[in-house]
Chain A
């Protein structure tokens, strides 16, 4: 039986892809196998086998340390051949996104990246991704014998993973990377994970100065929300790039997205399209953000935000 192969250097994303791959595999008549690479991959392999992968190919080859694109693409290509893969799903993290096209090129495969929906229609896979800077969603099919999809984290739910008991194989791979790691270190300061945040306060250019962002922080604290931002605030270095929401940052799906001083350019709003509730504070009644908001307050954020913070605090007492 041909195989749908899944890989991500992030175990949680790989588990999601196993769960999603199982559903697609049923429709396509494909078995689902997974790959775990790098030092310490053995533990990930057990997790993926338990999540329902029939076979997990694992290699702790030192060339996979730090997941360099050339070595990972070579390793995945060799495993894809070994496994008889006709579909490969790679987690579309930054690392996955630079690896998937190189893998596709090796396999003579078509590739769709940043996939945020993957379904079968008439026995064929159709992948959705944003186009024209987020203004539209392109739905694409690949006509190559082998197909590679770089799938965004959270596209599938790992809850759907069944209790499996797959086998683990350790193939011998011929891999190396000519990219040398000079330095690798964890980022300083707090690292935020917007992808998983249940509530987000998004700040934008309506804030005139860095110190004014304290208002947004206070509202976020009251709402028990994480602060995210538009790309321009990160460009000013007012906030870290891990707080960017949108096309060049996080694609979030919170219960509440509360935007403050965000005009609502599509490059930003694609990152919150999955929010259950969108609220907006903006002084410009015509701001595009109101066209996609459930609730809007037109007003000066320096007045409205402190009032909101106070009201939220009062409601919680």
Chain B
């Protein structure tokens, strides 16, 4: 089973600070999303069970070091990597991301299974997997917490509100995964060294036969600011019992407790 794992690199959110309500991204390094690491780990398990090749596919989206950052995916076990890097896609909307990824999947050629995280670490829109499935005309299963290869299909378990489901989709198919699916392995030095000699290609939109003008964002970000929180910030003091009593008095005064 040949698998393409779509991987997004995101600004490291632990290092993003908010200043004057704006997220400060200058100098913040990018890294592969956590859910994409789960997807890579799932791909490695499927390859062990069913054979095949794993391609890590990444759209740079303005990350100038994407071709470097994607090497983590190679160290985690991907056989090869493809980075789509084009200035026209520095800040794409989800439709453009999906169009570029779908075109790259076609160019890669053999793909039985396309894996995504259920959402990206930074924006978490969860749109791209479903859009790619529609472009390619293949079935999709979202939120998989278990995937296995069965004859010509994938069988996935997922949790949906109050229901547990086991679904089966014929290949080729798109599957998005949640973090419960596995614990990603941290690559060792050997894997990191080996990753350096694995094939890595960088494609432009022209390589994919796509017209940049048709991928212009149809979405406008009006503003992107931290919310202003109006909270009281009152800390109690005294012993545990005194603080507890003071707190309960406040709850009564605020109308939360008491009848």
Do chains A and B interact in one complex?
yes
Whole-angstrom distance between the alpha carbons of A292 and B188 in the complex? Answer: 40
B258 with A315: CB separation less than 8 A: yes
Q: Which residues of A contact B98 (CB under 8 A)?
A: 105
CB-CB under 8 A for A187 and B159, given A110-B93, A298-B235: yes
CB distance B247 to A295 under 8 Å?
A: yes
B77 at the interface (CB under 8 A from A): no
Among A98, A199, A256: residue with most chain B CB under 10 A: A98
Q: Which of A44-52, A55-63, A176-184 is near enough to bind chain B?
A: A176-184
Task: Name the contact of A179 in the complex, choosing from B169, B243, B257 (C-beta under 8 A).
Answer: B169
The answer for the CA separation of A186 and B160 in the assembled complex, in Å, is: 10
B168 at the A interface (CB under 8 A): yes
> CB-CB < 8 A to A179: which residues of B?
139-141, 167-169
The answer to whether A185 and B164 have CB atoms under 8 Å apart is yes
Q: Are A184 and B163 in contact (CB under 8 A)?
A: yes
Kindly specify which of A32-40, A81-89, A140-148, A155-163 makes contact with the partner chain: A140-148
Our pick among B23, B221, B251 for the contact of A135 (Cβ within 8 Å) is B23
Q: Is B26 an interface residue (CB 8 A)?
A: no
Q: A297 on the interface (CB 8 Å rule)?
A: yes
A184 touches B164 (CB 8 A): yes
A125-144: which have CB < 8 Å to B?
Answer: 126, 129-133, 135-144
A residues near B245, Cβ cutoff 8 Å: 311
- Measured in the bound complex, the distance between the Cα atoms of B142 and A105 in whole Å is 16
Asked if B180 lies at the interface with its beta carbon under 8 angstroms from chain A, I say yes
- A311 engages B241 (CB within 8 Å): yes
Using A273-B227, A277-B254, A279-B247 as known contacts, say yes or no to A140 and B219 having CB atoms under 8 A apart. Answer: yes
Which residues 276-312 of A sit at the B interface, judged by CB distance below 8 A? 277-279, 285, 290-300, 303-304, 307-308, 310-312
B122 at the interface (CB under 8 A from A): yes
Nearest chain A CB to B153 CB, angstrom units: 8
Docked-complex contact A294 and B233, CB < 8 angstroms:
yes
- As a 0/1 sequence over residues 95 to 123 of chain B, the CB contacts with chain A under 8 angstroms (1 = contact) are 10010000000000000000000000111
Segment of A15-23, A111-119, A165-173 in the binding face: A111-119
CA distance A122 to B241 in the complex (A): 54
User: Chain B: which residue is nearest A199 at the CB level?
Assistant: B256
Contact A110 B236 (CB under 8 A): no
Do A191 and B162 have beta carbons less than 8 Å apart?
yes
Select which of B13, B130, B221, B250 is within 8 A of A140 by beta carbon.
Answer: B221
CB of A114 within 8 A of CB of B124, answer: yes
Contact across chains for B254 and A241 when beta carbons are under 8 A apart = no
Pairwise interchain contact B125-A113, C-beta atoms closer than 8 A: yes
- B217, closest chain A residue (CB): A143
Cα of A191 to Cα of B163 in the assembled complex, Å: 10
Contact A315 B248 (CB under 8 A): yes
Q: How far is the CA of A142 from the CA of B235 in the complex (A)?
A: 44
Contact status A304-B224, CB under 8 Å: no
Contacts of A212 in B (CB 8 A): none
Contact check, A143 vs B226: say whether CB atoms are below 8 A apart: no
A132: chain B residues at CB < 8 Å are: 11, 13, 16, 23, 122-123, 224
Q: Is A104 an interface residue (CB 8 A)?
A: yes
A108's nearest neighbour on chain B, judged by CB, is B95
The verdict on A76 contacting chain B, using a C-beta distance below 8 Å, is: no
Q: Mark B210-233, 1 if CB is under 8 A from A, else 0.
A: 000000001111111111010111
Known contacts A102-B140, A182-B167, A297-B247; is-contact A137 B162 (Cβ 8 Å): no
**B229 contacts across to A, CB distance below 8 A:** 273, 292
Cβ–Cβ contact A104 & B220, under 8 A: no
Determine the distance from Cα of A170 to Cα of B134 in the docked complex, in whole angstroms: 26
Where the two chains meet, the residues of A that have a C-beta atom closer than 8 Å to any C-beta of B are 66, 69-70, 73, 93-95, 97-102, 104-106, 110-114, 126, 129-133, 135-144, 177-187, 191, 199, 223, 231, 235, 241-242, 247-248, 255-256, 273, 277-279, 285, 290-300, 303-304, 307-308, 310-312, 314-316
30 A-B residue pairings within 8 Å (CB atoms): A69-B140, A95-B160, A98-B126, A98-B130, A98-B176, A100-B130, A101-B130, A102-B133, A105-B130, A105-B131, A110-B95, A113-B125, A114-B124, A132-B23, A133-B16, A136-B225, A139-B221, A140-B220, A142-B219, A142-B220, A143-B218, A178-B139, A182-B155, A182-B166, A184-B165, A241-B180, A294-B234, A295-B236, A296-B233, A304-B243
Top 3 nearest A-B pairs (CB, nearest first) are: A101-B127, A98-B142, A307-B244
Known: A182-B155, A297-B240. 15 other contacts (CB 8 A): A94-B160, A98-B129, A102-B133, A104-B127, A114-B124, A133-B124, A142-B218, A181-B166, A182-B167, A187-B163, A199-B256, A295-B232, A296-B235, A304-B240, A312-B251
